[in-house]
Chains A and B, each alone.
Chain A
Amino acid sequence: MSTVLQLASTGLLQGLIYSLIGIGLYLVFTVMRVVNFAHGYFVLIGMYGVLSLEPKGFFPFLGAVVVAALGGALVGYLVQRLLLESGLAKGGHSQLVITLSLGIAIQYLFQVLHPEPFETIPNPYPFEAFTSSGVTISAPRMAAGVLSLVLVLAVSFLVYRTRIGTIIRGCSESLNGAIHVGINVRRVYRLTFALGCGLAAVAGGLLLPIQPVSPALGLELTIKAFIVVVIGGAGSLWGTVAAGVLLGLAEALGSLYAPGTFATALVYGLFFLVILVRPQGLVVRAASRIKPAETSTKVGVG
């Protein structure tokens, strides 16, 4: 029983980090209808960013996370401004291939810079672990979960309770409407992309003391972010948050029954099924917002 409890609490805390990664992707997707295939690689930027700053102690670590987050946001801003912006008008596939390629480029850049896999930093927190009723949680895991939760709440406050949040939601509701009320859509897009990437990088920084970093991790995290957003649906930010926690729990409890690689295969297989049976997540939104007609290929049957 205590094993299950132990796994559930680890899963819950891990899930909160997935939520944080997921809402970055969610924001970019709902506002810009761009699926950022490089999202997980921005988590990687955060991880390697903190790693290379080699923080000793708690406050330097927090500082390093902030620096990494700003770095991630800056890279995101530049990517949006220099690479994606011009293709947005055309719609279609260019962002897909650009972000996919960008992810690959980031992965191999880190492969060259950090050929050693599984690098990490020692526990930067002034505690070791928390133990209660047979459950032991290490300090970095506890802190990462709690800080992720705080950040998720902060983002939801930003989106639902502030003026800039109203503007962001306006852009996601109707691009044309946003232009008609005089919102500088281009700037909102740049900021949203930067915010999404910055959140991914923060999550990476928090993740580093728990999960050693390898360049190949970026893809896995991208997929997990997709899982979270697709399951969470496009309705509200809270769906994404819930889906993140769900993924964390499923992963932790799943490890009880399935060995490592096979568990991953199960997760991906499940994701494929989710895409098939839950098109009302991202799909409906994407189809109805980008193109009014979404019955496209069904016409051709028979």
Chain B
Amino acid sequence: MTTLEIEGLTVKRGRSEVLHQVDLVVREGECVCLVGSNGAGKTSLIEGVLGLLPTKAKTLSFQGESLLGVRPWDRVRRGLVVVPQNRDLFAGMTVEENLRLGAIAAGDRTTADTVLAEIYELFPRLAERAEQLAGTLSGGERSMLAIGRGLMSRPKMLVFDEPSLGLAPLVVTSIMRTIARINERGTTVLLVEQNVHQAFALASRAYVLENGVIAGEGPTDELADSELMRRGYLGSAATGGVVTT
């Protein structure tokens, strides 16, 4: 069963079209990655899928139901949750308040405590800092909180927008391991990354986005040896992605 199906997606940012006729499919339980260099349109794709930017599409469906004309927050309520690039945390609220707000979409208040316990188990660091204001967390902790908040509504699918951005290599590895665990537990994952090596290690299939169009797709192990990779384009993007100082 397809979880996310995109066909002929065009996204506009301001007056300019930043994504042209993109096709992308994520099946249930999969971990798919979308790679591309800075400015290729990765974040625009996510914002288009969530309905934050004006879009046109032949098909844009989630779990078999069309998302066209559905408000962004209702897309979240259907189980399509994004862990955004700049985290978008509620900086003036505590870690626990942030997490509890994450459960708003689920609507069911009784399960919130169970999920909260699960998340504290997944990220013991967050449990230690439950009463701390989100704005005072370190980069890695903020990243954990954003993921935890995304998990609170028990989403069908999590979209990670550059989870490695701005983090130390060691933290990146740990975050990536967590994403793998989340996927193993049954959540469909779309990982959007600039850091190709990390992403390919995690995902089974990959899409390559270049200047707003899909330049290539396929299983990660095949794609890694492909013409596209040999052109050196991805290689440079990969190093550029890790060393973002």
Contacts and interface: CB of A to CB of B under 8 A. Distances in A.
Q: Do chains A and B touch in the complex (CB under 8 A)?
A: yes
Interface of A: 166-167, 169-170, 173-174, 176-186
A180 B93 contact: no
Contact of A181 (B71, B74, B76): B76
Given A169-B90, A173-B93, A174-B91, A181 B84 contact: no
Interface in B42-83: 50, 52, 71-74, 76-77, 81-83
A35 B150 CA distance: 32
**Which 7 interchain pairs have the tightest Cβ spacing?**
A182-B105, A182-B76, A173-B90, A177-B88, A176-B88, A182-B77, A182-B73
Contacts of A176: 52, 84, 88
Contact of B90 (A177, A179, A184, A186): A177
A176 B101 CA distance: 13
B150 A180 contact: yes
Contacts of B93: 166, 169-170, 173
A267 to B, nearest CB: 31
Contacts of B77: 182
B102 interface: yes
Nearest to B109: A163
B73 to A, nearest CB: 5
B100 interface: yes
Interface of A is mostly: helix
Contacts of B81: 180, 182
B25 interface: no
Given A173-B90, A183-B101, 11 more contacts: A170-B93, A173-B91, A174-B90, A174-B91, A177-B88, A179-B72, A180-B81, A181-B76, A181-B152, A183-B104, A184-B73
Contacts of B150: 180
Given A166-B97, A173-B90, A180 B71 contact: no
A167 B90 CA distance: 11
A75 to B, nearest CB: 25
A95 B151 CA distance: 36
Contacts, number: 68
Nearest to A177: B88
Given A176-B88, A180-B81, A186 B71 contact: yes
Interface of B: 50, 52, 71-74, 76-77, 81-84, 88-93, 97, 100-102, 104-105, 149-150, 152-153
Contacts of B149: 180-181
A181 B102 contact: yes
B91 A179 contact: no
28 contacts: A166-B97, A166-B100, A166-B101, A167-B101, A169-B92, A170-B93, A173-B89, A173-B93, A174-B90, A174-B91, A176-B84, A176-B88, A177-B84, A177-B90, A178-B101, A179-B52, A180-B76, A180-B81, A180-B83, A180-B84, A181-B101, A182-B77, A182-B81, A183-B101, A183-B104, A184-B73, A184-B74, A186-B71
Nearest to B90: A173
Nearest to A179: B72
Given A177-B89, A181-B153, A170 B101 contact: yes
B176 to A, nearest CB: 21
A39 B76 CA distance: 34
A249 B82 CA distance: 49
A186 B51 CA distance: 14
**Of A167, A173, A180, which is in contact with the most chain B CB atoms at under 10 Å from its CB?**
A180
B92 A183 contact: no
